Structure formats: structure tokens, C-alpha cells
Structure 1
């Protein structure tokens, strides 16, 4: 025990200096390149039935003992706890610790877990391995280390900023999402966690990604704060060509909202982890409200060198959700900022039908115009910002809400009225005698029957109202709206799509 304590103290003191660590991104890249030169070897994980037969509640009872956390008691800013394999988390990942003295394996120790009421004999598990890990940091209270970022399942991870609760997730990579051929899910096979110094306010994590057609090296620099930043550097090696590569993929949930009411009676006005896709190009900001379609819906926005995109939760009013357990009002928005030029391509949005809030049914990512070929290499860098208090918004007026209702009249008709509220930006500086003009557009599957723009005296913004009719319910109807002052656009673009009705 004395030797272990002294070793821990020695490592803290060593890494507190400025000497180079024994491992970096290039080491992971070499492993990824070597792995790409070999046929894909699907890991054959055989977990005991006592773990694979667990239901969700039983699996949730398995907890890592906080007192066993990595760096507990070392007065470092971060701590690490690990996830136990079981249920559908059956992919074993290798865990390593990077210090100034070298790299060492982090062993699986059953005694570090509390198995709750489950009839599991820890002694029978041996060196089973981990299903992932989570990093803790004092985000909200200097005396308490909260969850900061977690990696668990395939290449999924999710992070938190101050006063946030877990919502949408990110992934290392998406391949053929929404394609008839089926989606391929790359996995992080191995992680290396860099031992932090006493003064560090960021944490570095390396990961090795593997899949049938691609391998990759990843470096995550995690900077906690009001908006936690996850700076990502990756290098991909392609075993084979890929039809649709999804870069910086985000995954979220949308069930219903004010513009698409619940199909069943529910006390909650809205249920979603994200409410819209925001896209920043060189010349335009676009806002597409999310929908819950009745069949798979894939849309995209083409551009060159995107400035940013994200699945956003703009509405922070608890009264619009009324869910004390899930707290949708505190779910993070995630904003992607590319580094360097990404070239021509598109931001693609995939929306999948769902009947409840248990499934993530929304995916957004960047698709390069040129598909990667076998033997090629791709370098990418970008940063994810997990936001709530200071979310990324355009300097223009932005869309505060979208609402939908039936068209006017005593008798029901087949028209809908859409209400779009703009606020902020240049609208705050219009003179009393200035009135913006609403530029509206609808595709050939609909018509605008009437339109209005009025001052919203409550918010100080402006409200656009339009009554529309769709020609063919089996086809999508797309609409756009933007506010103008003279020849200038002074708002982001509202880009709404009404999904087709299945026949």
C-alpha cells in the first residue's frame, strides 16, 4: 500500500513538470494505419449470461464505486470512473493511462463495482474489461466533481457544460446513415487517458477507431466550462471506399413540439432533446425546425467550407416542457466549428419516426462531396461546444419559435397556419417607423393563401404568419422565410419542411 501511494505521488509530481509524455496522437495514428492494412477483425466478445440477460433497471444498478475513481485523493482537477459491460453494452474497450514514465494498462477489477441487488459473483468475472468510462470535474460546485464527458457504446460520447443535464450525443464517425444498405457503426476499440497536471484545466484523451471500411486515430481535448469545448483531431485510414461518410455526427431526440403537437394527450407541452438544426455558411444562417416524420426523412443543405452547424435546444423555458425528471430545458445544444477548409459538401439531417422519447431519432453530420476511396487518408479537426447559457446564434435576428394551427374558418379545411417569431439582432435597432419585409417561398407542392407580418410587442421582435395549403400529401412541402430591411437580409432563414404522409 505504501509503495502504491508513493508511486501515485511520484507520477503526480512527474507529470506536473513540463517534460514530454511518452505517448501522443502520432502513436495512435501509427496503430490505426497498421490496423487499416489488415482485414477487419470483428471483436468476438463473450459475456457471461448473468450480464447479457440484465434488463435496463438491473444494469443501472451496477455502479462504479466513487472512492475507487482514478486520481481520487490526488487533488487533481479530474477523476475517472468506468462503465461495466452488460445489457447491450457488450463491446469491450481497452483502457490505458499515459504518464511521463510510459503507458500502462488500466485493469478491470470487479471489486471496484457495486452490483446492487443483481445476483452476480464478482469473483467469476476475472479481467473482463470495460464498456467505457466517464470523466468527472467540479463544473457546478468546487466541492463536487460532476460528470463532464462519457464514452460508452460504439463511438458515442456526450458531454456537459455548467448546469446542463445529458441530452444529445456525438459520435466519432457515421457511415451510410439512412441508406438502404444499412448503417455501419465504427467503434472505439482502445483509449489512452493522459495523466493531468495539478494546474490543468483541460483533459486529453486518445482513441483508436475501427470498422469494416475505416480505422482512425482521435485526440480529444476537453475544456470544461459554461460551454464545455471538445476539441477533436482525427486521422482516418480507409480500407475500402465509402458511399456516404458522416463527419462530426450529432445524435438527438425529437418527439413533438409547438409546431407538431403530440399525437396522444400528454401533460408536457413539448418533448425533445433538440428542437432545430442550425447551419452557418459563408453567406447565410439557416434554421430548420425538427419534425417527427411518419417515414424516414433525409434533407440537406449544400455549401462550401461550412462555418458551423449544430442540433440546438433554444427554448429554455421550463413551462414549455413541465418535465421535472428529464429537464428538457437544461439539455445542451451542440455546435460544431470546423477547423480549416472542409471543401464542398452538405450538412445532412436524418429524421426517423419514433413513438416515444426513449430512442434517438435525429442525426446531423457533414458529408464531403468527394467520397473517400480505398487506401486514402483524411485529416480532420473541429470543436464541439456543449452549450446552454450562451448558445451560438446568428448576429442577425433569429427564430425564437415556430407554431402551427389549422387555417381560419368555422369549417375545418385542409390548410394550416404557421406562426414564426423572429427576435434579436438588427430588429432591436429598427426605428419606430421602420417595418421589415417578409420574404416567403414555398415549393411547387404548396401555395401561400395569405401572409402577415406584425410587431410582437411582448418580445420586441416581429411575427410572420402565413396560411398554406399542400397540393399532394404524399410529397414533402418546403417553406422558407426571411426578414429584410431594404435590400438586406436581417434574419436567419427559416427553412421548414412538412413531411409526406404515407399512403
Structure 2
């Protein structure tokens, strides 16, 4: 089996985002506990529990019914021995060989339920769907190897915190391609990659003074895959103080792993700040920001920039930053065609990191299905001095308020890949550098573009650079047709401003030759 763990636990602020436990559980036969009447667990058991006939519409019905009831927090019953585990102790827990669901059936997929422990304290009820019928996955302690942990003989039912998906039908060794664990977080990757960025099934009120709300998965129904289809379908139930929801995710692993996400939300209250297609990553430092530079490596990040294809067909590139203060940027749009956190550096020389290998991190790209109306791609950059923090968050924020008592459906296709599936027929930004300018508060920027259109001299070529505040000075550029490169250098004089929004595009007359480079300077 290939190693599916990120080599570091990941947190954002005080909240654990998502990690991958090298642990699993099995389909055991202990008796399931009877849930208290009126709780989400009782509603789940009575509608789609053990022995019931499965229907995707029934998952939506459960979410709808839960939204009509007051929110009930999940039980906080994880034994102290497991809540107090550190990261190393948690990943040392291993599953017995017989623990994996559908192992040896030739269906192309295997599932490992992951136990609770460490920061994964909330339980997720797991079911399989086989021949149309629901079966409960129960915790069985005898299927675990707890390593050096000294556990009492009466260790209770731990339950599960999520699951890992492995492909066994793509040739070669089994391919661990996805982990769903913690709140509504999940990770995936393409063959040959390692875990980096993290996706969210739902994002609520991030970076707000009143505090972010973290919805969580309450239950999952995993459909037994059909051999030869290279697809596995999961159905999740979302719950939080403000909203409930049902999400269907279809995973197709490969050279690019594709996840089709279909979600129906039932707000309990009016929702003004909702994030769809959310994703997070780490950006510590790189050529454009080096305020934390006491490191042998020249760069440390999971993604180099936010790429967008807006509703007008314009390709935008925003290099990521690790600012001194919290920065929130909104790229207003209507019916976006795509956006994502992109890792463009694929040469190990760029990072010089033989352990983390950031050059193998996945790009995550979202393509909306249907019209998403008016809103904005929102980017949040959080100051960080540690690479274990996912300090970058991007998502689509609808302009319209989701009304309490309403029903809202949306869908998108998500690519975990080396490069986005659709790429501009334009020169792209290959490098952004920033350093001290000519004097005072001036900053110098160097931006390189690369592309086939730059392989020969271009008549009337000019860099169109502007800023919404401050002043652009001393613009120069050099062409290198042999390398298909144009390098632009300019100075920003912010004057008395503390934030300057800059924009740069290569043009030949009125025609754009490159994607549009966007950048926010802050002191």
C-alpha cells in the first residue's frame, strides 16, 4: 500500500482542519448503541439505518427534517486516553489486514474507516450500501493494533472520524487517493502526488470577528462500487448550528482525480456568508515574500497562486502571500467558469525539500456546474510563522443571502491534478519576486511570463501595469524569445497608502498576450 499520510498534522488557528490517520477500523459485529429519541442519530437510524433500503433522496429528506429541529451538538464522549493522543501516537494505530471493506472483491476500491482520536473527536456514523440495502459499519477493537499504547481492557466503542479511499484497479500498487476526516474536510490527490491542499464541503463565516462556524459530517453512506467503473459514490449528511445539508460525492481516481460534488443545503437561519467549493493550503514564504526566511529552503508552500477564469472569459492569476496582517480579497464575478489553488512549481530544485516535496502537491480546480449567479471568489490570507498552518483559504461566496427555511442546491466538478484541465491560450506567470525599491517605502517587483506566443518577437508589445492607489514607476521589460519569456520590472511607490492593488497584463496593441497578474501589496 502506498503511504497516504501528509508528513505533518494540519491546523488553521485553533481549529484542526484535517489530517490523515494511519489507522482503520473494520466491519465488526458488536451491538450498536440505541440513540436517544429526537436526536440526529435517531433520525438517521430510523430512516436509513441497518437493514433499511437506501435512497439518495432519503439522505436529503433527513437533512430537511433535521433543519426543522434545534441543533443538537454531537456527543463529546471520546475517552480521555484517545482525546489526549498526540499526532505520533495517533498515526501509530494501525488496522489489522482484515479491516478493509471490500478487500479482495475485485471492485477496484477499498475503504478504511478511521477511528476517533487526537484532534478527531467528533464521531461520524458510517454505513455501506450493498444490493440496495444499508449496513452499519461498527467499531471492533480487536481489529486494531494500538502499538505501544497501554489501554484498559474495558476500552469503549471509539466509533469513527472518517474514512480513507484506496484504488486497487489502476495498475501497480494500491493507490490511496482520498481521505474524508474532520468537520467537512477532505483531501484527494492524483497518482504520484502527496497530500497538500484540503477541500471543504461547506464553509461558514470564515475570518469574521464573531468567529467561524465549522459544520461537520454526521453520517456517510458508501455505495459498494461496481467493478470496472472506476467510480465510488458516497453520500454525506452535514449538520451545524446554522444549516443542514446532504452532499453526494463521486470519486474517480487517476492521473487526475475527479470529484463530482452535488449539495443540497437547508439553512436554519439566514446565511449571509457561505463558502462553496472551499479549499485551503499552506503558504509560508517564496520569492515574493520572505519575512520568515531563516530556513535552508528557498520556498515553502502547497500552492503558488489562486487562478480564476471569470464569467467574462478573463484568466486571472493572483500569487499567494503570507502577510503581516489578515487580508481578505474578493474578486467580484457572475457565473464563474473556474477557480482554484494552483501549484505551478514542479521542479524539486525550486523547493530543495526532500521530505515534504512540495513540488508534488496537488492543484485543486473547481468548475461550477450550472449558473452560480452573482458573487465573488474570496481569498483569505492569514499571517503564519509555521508550515503546519493552512493559512490560505479560497471559495466562492454567493452575493444573495440564503434564507432560513429555504432549500439551495449547487454542484461542481473538482479536479485534483498537476495542471488545471483548461488552460489559457495565453502566456502565464511563471515567477513573481518582490524586494526593496529605489528608496523610502518603494517596492520593486519582477514578474516573468512564459508562453508559446512569446517564442518570436512581438510587434507593439507592452506591459500594461496599473495600481488602484499609490504610483507605478520605472517600468521596464526584456524579451527572451529563445526561452519564450518576457520579464517585467517596475517600482511601486505606495505613498501614504497601506494597501495597493496592482494589475499587469502583456499586450500587443489592444490584444492581451498573457493572463492578468493581480497583486495586493501591504507593508
TM over 0.5: yes
**Is 1:37–2:68 an aligned residue pair?**
yes
Contact 1:64 1:83 in 2 (8 A): no
Once the two structures are TM-superposed, the CA of residue 425 in structure 1 deviates from its matched residue by: 5.0
Once the two structures are TM-superposed, the CA of residue 42 in structure 1 deviates from its matched residue by: 0.6
Equivalent residue runs for 1:73-472 within 5 Å: 73-121=104-152, 123-138=153-168, 142-283=171-312, 284-388=314-418, 392-407=422-437, 413-424=440-451, 426-428=453-455, 431-432=456-457, 434-444=459-469, 446-457=470-481, 459-472=483-496
Contact 1:62 1:84 in 2 (8 A): no
CA distance in 2, matches of 1:163, 1:390: 16
| Aligned residue number for residue 11 of structure 1 | none
SS class of match (1:59)? helix
TM-score, normalisation: structure 1: 0.90
CA distance in 1, matches of 2:480, 2:328: 33
CA distance in 2, matches of 1:35, 1:227: 36
**Is 1:479–2:493 an aligned residue pair?**
no
| Aligned residue number for residue 57 of structure 1 | 88
| Aligned residue number for residue 14 of structure 1 | none
Contact 1:25 1:218 in 2 (8 A): no
What runs of 5+ residues in structure 2 fail to find an aligned partner? 1-26, 28-51
CA distance in 1, matches of 2:501, 2:253: 39
TM-score, normalisation: structure 2: 0.87
Contact 2:281 2:302 in 1 (8 A): yes
Once the two structures are TM-superposed, the CA of residue 282 in structure 1 deviates from its matched residue by: 2.7
CA distance in 2, matches of 1:171, 1:296: 21
| Aligned residue number for residue 489 of structure 1 | 512
SS class of match (1:131)? strand
**Is 1:69–2:68 an aligned residue pair?**
no
**What does the per-residue CA deviation read over 1:200-259, in whole Å, with 9 as the maximum and x for residues that have no partner?**
211100000001110001100101111100000110001111120111110111000011
**What does the per-residue CA deviation read over 1:303-350, in whole Å, with 9 as the maximum and x for residues that have no partner?**
100001001111111111111111100000100000000000000001
Q: How many residues align?
A: 472
Cα 1:174–1:201 shift into 2, 3 Å: same
Contact 1:155 1:188 in 2 (8 A): yes
Once the two structures are TM-superposed, the CA of residue 64 in structure 1 deviates from its matched residue by: 2.4
CA distance in 1, matches of 2:141, 2:229: 30
- After the TM superposition, which of the residue ranges 55-64 and 222-231 deviates more from structure 2? 55-64
- After the TM superposition, which of the residue ranges 454-463 and 227-236 deviates more from structure 2? 454-463
SS class of match (1:34)? helix
Once the two structures are TM-superposed, the CA of residue 453 in structure 1 deviates from its matched residue by: 1.7
CA distance in 1, matches of 2:420, 2:397: 28
Equivalent residue runs for 1:7-22 within 5 Å: 22=53
